[in-house]
Structures are given as C-alpha cells and as structure tokens.
A = this chain, B = another copy of it.
Amino acid sequence: MTYCVGLKIDRGLVFMSDTRTNAGMDSISSFRKMHVWERPGERVIVLMAAGNLATTQNVVSLLNGRDKVMEEHKPAVLETPSMYQTARLVGDTLKKVIHMSAPGGERADSFFNASFILGGQIRGSVPRLFMIYPEGNFIESTEDTPFFQIGETKYGKPIIVRTYDRAMSFSEAVKLLMVSFDSTLKSNLSVGLPLDLLFYERDSFKVRLEKRIEYEDPYYRAISDSWSDALRNAFKSLPDFPEE
C-alpha cells in the first residue's frame, strides 16, 4: 500500500508521502513516491504516486523523456504551459502505460492500476492541486476539498477533516500531516517510514523545503510520542456517559 497527502493552504502547497512498497507481506522495499521538477523562478511541479510500482515508475520515466535517445532526454513536465496541461500530460501518460501493460487498456485493469496527486505552480497562474485517476481523468482541489489523499486514506482522514484550516502555517500543516501519517503507520503495516516531506510557498517558484524523515527524526518522534497522550487527554475532557 501507500499513503500520500497533498494539502493546499493559503501560503502554498504541502506534500507528504511514505516510501513502502510491497508484493505480499514478505517482500517489502523502499521506493521514493514523491517526484519533483523545478525550474527556479518559473515552475515547481510535484507528483506523488500510489499503485502498481511498474506502472508509476514507467509514467515518471516517460514524463522525464527516458523513452527518447539520451541526448533528447528532457522532462516534458518542464515544457507544459499550465498545471492543467501538466495534469492532462500525466493522465494521458498513465493511460498509455496501463494500455501497454494490460490487454484491457483503458479499462484501467485493477492489477496495473495507479493514481497520482499532482501539485505545483507555473508562472502566470496560481498554485494548483490535482488528483489523477487510473482512467487518466482528474479532479482539481477546491475550497470545499482542499486536500487529496491516495493509498491507505481512511485511518489518517478524520484528523485532517477536523483540524485543517486554510490559514494555517507551514509548521502547523506539517504537524497535521505528521499526525495523520502517524495514525496510518500505527494501523497499516504496508505504509512505512521514511517519509518524504516537501513544501512550496506560493509565488516563490522554488522548493522551500524538501526533507526525508527517518524513524529517529526528533520531530517525528516528539509527535508520535505526544499524540497518544494528547488524544487521551482530549478523550478524558469529554463527559462520561450518564448511566440512567
């Protein structure tokens, strides 16, 4: 499995992804699921992947122009005129890859399935955040739904729904994602450390922070240790059931 979240706040975009891939319980490994393209001053594009690793790696290779001869290698995602066109490019590439793998092609055969969260900003437009489905179509975040999750989304969703605030700072947004990931890591073995974190500040056109969070990361440990206590205290503060 996988867990990735892309979050849109007033100040920009925040992304977090885990790194575990597995083929059965007895075959796990670490693969980066967050891919970043940056042309400082002009664009930052972040893509996070969930699903079949052969499919998602192949999509990223094609987006990087790896199907061309060496001297023509050049990431197509650095040439798109808008985030909308970038989302279409990713969706079309995904459809093509699934079509190559599965005889059923556009039916997005579940075995070769993948989905993506795409976010970023290209000069001339605002930051935008998309979710791209295995069928190649996509939706964009709105004020009503300012975040997208892919993979194992359920354990970590309630905390995001209840504490997200578009005016929050990067530090608060990272805290929110840490709590959401901690709940998921504690519940599903197929989501695993280390985590990749990135945040992008609106209109900066460069990555503000990109960081890999390992098990011994002091901030992650502080959150993981103190969230259980904070939750227990919150629980204690509620009224007990009045027995008739």
Contacts and interface: CB of A to CB of B under 8 A. Distances in A.
Interface of A: 154-155, 157-159, 161-163, 169-172, 174-176, 178-179, 183, 186-187, 209, 219, 222-223, 226-228, 230-235, 237-244
Number of copies: 2
A159 B179 CA distance: 13
Nearest to A199: B243
A161 B186 contact: yes
B231 A219 contact: no
29 contacts: A154-B187, A155-B157, A155-B158, A157-B187, A158-B186, A161-B187, A162-B228, A163-B231, A163-B232, A163-B235, A171-B240, A172-B241, A174-B241, A175-B235, A175-B239, A175-B240, A175-B241, A178-B241, A179-B238, A209-B243, A219-B241, A222-B239, A226-B237, A227-B234, A227-B238, A230-B234, A230-B238, A231-B231, A234-B234
A237 B230 contact: yes
Contacts of A227: 234, 238
A228 B239 CA distance: 14
Nearest to A152: B154
Contacts of A232: 162-163
B171 A243 contact: yes
Contacts of A169: 240
Contacts of A235: 159, 163, 175-176, 179, 230
Contacts of A187: 154, 157-158, 161
A194 to B, nearest CB: 16
Which residue among A209, A226, A232, A238 has the maximum number of chain B CB atoms within 10 Å of its CB? A238
